[in-house]
Chains A and B, each alone.
Chain A
Amino acid sequence: MKKLILVILPVIFCFTSIYAEEKAFNLENLEAPSTPSAYILGLNIGDIDTPKTIDDLEASILANYFDEEKFVIPNEYAIEINPYRVSGQPNFDYKAYIDDTVINNLWQNFSVSIASTTEYPIGDSTFCKALGIGFRSTLLRGKLDDKDKVDLEMLFDANRKLLTFNSFLMNSYNIYLKSINNPLQKDTYQDKTSHKAIILKDITYTTASKYEATTDVFILKDTTFTIANHKAITLKDTTLKIVTKNKVSPKVIILKDTTLTIATEIDSTQKYIDFINGYRTDIVAKSGSFFEVNNFSASMKAECLKKLDDIINQIIQSKNYKNIKGKIADNFCKGIDKSTLIPLQKRLDKDKLTRYGWKWDLDFASAYVFPSNSFDESITPKFGFWTNLTWSHKKYKDLNLTLLGRYIFNNEDFYHDYSDLDDDKIYDSITEFGGQIAYSEKKLSFEIEYINRFCESDFSFSDEKYTFSMNYNFRDNIVLTCNFGKDFDDPNSSEGNFISGFSINYGIGVVNSEDLNQEPNKK
């Protein structure tokens, strides 16, 4: 293979140009155009606005269709709205996602598009404003492998059960806390003792310390002391007036006939451990009926209780008992992500590529032209509908066979009045039928297309297009492209064209994160 490439490459270089683009030229392929409304106007809009929420939609309309509060038609702009998506897909059903049912497909994929231009040609090199309005939807979107289907259903089900179990844990926590009269409230010990004399040594003054320098008197008022034997001693409503020498803060204070309020924290570790273990026992006792009502399998039950055990043990080991409930919820939620959410997301990504069987799209679009640039006068130059029916085999999903049918109705009056075309170049309607075979895998992809076009008017005209296109990825940034075929004779020019070409596409290549992280001197 390498020898063959070495022979072919220099030959190809002789006939090719080098591009930094992905493709040398565009082939009309049989997939639905980016949006039907743009297609009917003959616009090639790369960046179609697809608002996903009501707010996005409102912002798009205001930004593009209004200028200083006046309605305007933007040039070369298209917006496509999927009402189901904009409405936030209320009450989406996973089963409906997995199944391939026509009614669900039609509603979930239905979209309305509006495209506009201010440069629609109407002859004599003059242009006017035009709007395209289109609708499209999907009747069939292909089936999932039985194995994928079962796996997805199991993952959805397991995810739902874990979510419910976490809520059950929290509900049970609230009930348990209430039932044992909330022992986790502030843990302090109060002691009021009268003392004949107390000597405070190595005093740290923490609050409200006052020092009067001029009188060598040290006054302490409502002060909290920290001393070795107690965590805190608070003197309330007491003022100590201590005479000191040489303005030195006293290291020793003797309090006589004084009542001290001693507030000290209790070591509550055991209390918390007892509480958590009590909660664990309570959950185990209650969970039996919960598992039964919610159809948990034996393995699911074991998984849930094991997760709870792990979280509780982790809290006990950390000896940090702040916000126990929040810790259980946070950790359980993380566990759900790991065990079902992330696998589910990976599966859904894969699913996008692995549907097989019949896929069927329907499109309709109509164009509206305003020759006098006033909304009072509009003409429909053309409207049309088209459909793609694709099939792929369960075992060979990389290979797709597609059939296309397209019908475009042209308003002859419009073309007679507003175009430079000769009468024999104006058609009542254009009907196209065609097919495509497309194969795409990691290195190699190719497409073979054939379309037959029938143009109807006072006379009939038939034309055809066939193309072959192949790409071979040598590396990420080097692609060998080969195109060959015959395009349509343009109904407006009657000049045929033959397309062929080889090209090597060079890309700059993807920047790796390693490159960015490299230190400059190591580059």
Chain B
Amino acid sequence: MCARSYVKERPLKLELSGFDNSVEIDIFCYNKIDVGIVYGDESISIGCREENPIGNSKELKGTTITFCCTVNNPFEREIKVKHIIREKGGNTKTYTFPGDYDGTPQFENDNGKTCYYEFQVKFE
């Protein structure tokens, strides 16, 4: 069976200040794709064009959050999603799928079919 799930091997590391700043994720979709992202113990769901607070820098420091993402493109174009995780007034980390994907199997989906990808952000 052709693989449809792509889990990033190395977690992204984002250094937080540990102050009371808010940490957020912004999602940018390209080529008319649609995406459904769920993360955290409370299963917060977001989609394209959305930004959402992940939490507070103080509370997040030392934790790891997994972002579970399912994506497709009804217009049969290439899949591309950019995720920007940033602490307000602090550092930023960007993960672009599939450009930054480093796992196995190799990503193969140029016709926009539904696939699942996952990445972790380690807050240090």
Q: A residues bordering B, Cβ < 8 Å?
A: 88-94, 97, 156, 159-168, 170-172, 174-175, 286, 290, 293-294, 325-326, 329-330, 332-334, 336-337, 341, 344-345, 348
Taking a contact as CB atoms under 8 Å apart, the answer to whether B4 and A334 are in contact is yes
B13-47 Cβ-contact flags toward A at 8 Å (1 or 0): 00000000000000011111111111111010101
Determine the chain B residues whose CB is within 8 A of the CB of A88 once the complex forms: 30-31, 80
- With an 8 A cutoff between CB atoms, is B113 at the interface? yes
3 cross-chain pairs, A with B, having the tightest CB-CB distances, nearest first: A164-B36, A163-B36, A88-B30
Taking a contact as CB atoms under 8 Å apart, the answer to whether B3 and A330 are in contact is yes
Determine the chain A residues whose CB is within 8 A of the CB of B57 once the complex forms: none
From A156, A171, A330, name the one whose CB has the most chain B CB atoms within 10 angstroms: A171
Taking a contact as CB atoms under 8 Å apart, the answer to whether A341 and B80 are in contact is no
**A164-B36, A170-B38, A326-B3 known; A337-B80 Cβ under 8 A:** no
Taking a contact as CB atoms under 8 Å apart, the answer to whether B80 and A168 are in contact is no
* Cα–Cα distance between A159 and B47 once the two chains are bound (Å): 12
B residues 67-92 with Cβ under 8 Å of A?
68-72, 74-76, 80
- A/B interface sample: 16 pairs, CB < 8 A: A88-B30, A89-B30, A90-B30, A91-B29, A91-B49, A94-B34, A159-B74, A160-B36, A164-B70, A168-B68, A170-B116, A329-B5, A330-B5, A330-B116, A333-B114, A333-B115
8 Å CB contact of B34 from A163, A170, A286, A325: A163
CB distance from B40 to the nearest CB of A (A): 8
* Cα–Cα distance between A442 and B28 once the two chains are bound (Å): 42
* Cα–Cα distance between A165 and B30 once the two chains are bound (Å): 21
Q: B residues bordering A, Cβ < 8 Å?
A: 1-5, 28-41, 43, 45, 47-49, 66, 68-72, 74-76, 80, 113-116, 118
* Cα–Cα distance between A257 and B76 once the two chains are bound (Å): 69
* Cα–Cα distance between A174 and B66 once the two chains are bound (Å): 9
CB distance from A205 to the nearest CB of B (A): 34
Determine the chain A residues whose CB is within 8 A of the CB of B28 once the complex forms: 90-91
What 20 new A-B contacts, CB under 8 Å, besides A90-B28, A160-B34, A330-B5? A89-B32, A92-B48, A159-B34, A164-B36, A164-B45, A164-B70, A166-B70, A166-B116, A167-B37, A171-B40, A174-B68, A175-B41, A294-B45, A329-B70, A330-B3, A333-B72, A337-B72, A337-B113, A337-B114, A344-B74
Taking a contact as CB atoms under 8 Å apart, the answer to whether B118 and A333 are in contact is no
Taking a contact as CB atoms under 8 Å apart, the answer to whether B43 and A171 are in contact is yes
8 Å CB contact of A164 from B4, B47, B80: B47
Taking a contact as CB atoms under 8 Å apart, the answer to whether B115 and A167 are in contact is no
* Cα–Cα distance between A160 and B34 once the two chains are bound (Å): 7
* Cα–Cα distance between A89 and B74 once the two chains are bound (Å): 14
CB distance from A293 to the nearest CB of B (A): 7
* Cα–Cα distance between A327 and B74 once the two chains are bound (Å): 23
Chain A: which residue is nearest B69 at the CB level? A167
CB distance from B27 to the nearest CB of A (A): 9
* Cα–Cα distance between A284 and B75 once the two chains are bound (Å): 33
Chain A: which residue is nearest B113 at the CB level? A337
* Cα–Cα distance between A163 and B68 once the two chains are bound (Å): 10
Taking a contact as CB atoms under 8 Å apart, the answer to whether B4 and A160 are in contact is no
Taking a contact as CB atoms under 8 Å apart, the answer to whether B74 and A168 are in contact is no
CB distance from A54 to the nearest CB of B (A): 11
**A91-B49, A333-B113, A333-B116 known; A167-B38 Cβ under 8 A:** yes
8 Å CB contact of B70 from A167, A172, A348: A167
CB distance from B88 to the nearest CB of A (A): 21
Chain A: which residue is nearest B30 at the CB level? A88
From A161, A286, A345, name the one whose CB has the most chain B CB atoms within 10 angstroms: A345
Chain A: which residue is nearest B118 at the CB level? A170
**A91-B48, A171-B68 known; A164-B38 Cβ under 8 A:** yes
Determine the chain B residues whose CB is within 8 A of the CB of A156 once the complex forms: 34, 74
Taking a contact as CB atoms under 8 Å apart, the answer to whether A163 and B72 are in contact is yes
CB distance from B81 to the nearest CB of A (A): 10
From B3, B30, B114, name the one whose CB has the most chain A CB atoms within 10 angstroms: B114
**A333-B4, A348-B75 known; A293-B45 Cβ under 8 A:** yes
Determine the chain A residues whose CB is within 8 A of the CB of B33 once the complex forms: 92
Determine the chain B residues whose CB is within 8 A of the CB of A163 once the complex forms: 34-36, 70-72, 114
CB distance from A109 to the nearest CB of B (A): 14
Determine the chain A residues whose CB is within 8 A of the CB of B68 once the complex forms: 167-168, 170-171, 174
* Cα–Cα distance between A293 and B45 once the two chains are bound (Å): 9
* Cα–Cα distance between A287 and B1 once the two chains are bound (Å): 28
Taking a contact as CB atoms under 8 Å apart, the answer to whether B32 and A345 are in contact is no
Determine the chain A residues whose CB is within 8 A of the CB of B34 once the complex forms: 94, 156, 159-160, 163
* Cα–Cα distance between A286 and B43 once the two chains are bound (Å): 9
CB distance from A286 to the nearest CB of B (A): 7
Taking a contact as CB atoms under 8 Å apart, the answer to whether B114 and A341 are in contact is yes
Determine the chain B residues whose CB is within 8 A of the CB of A160 once the complex forms: 34, 36, 47
8 Å CB contact of B116 from A286, A294, A329: A329
Taking a contact as CB atoms under 8 Å apart, the answer to whether B114 and A334 are in contact is yes
Taking a contact as CB atoms under 8 Å apart, the answer to whether A345 and B76 are in contact is yes
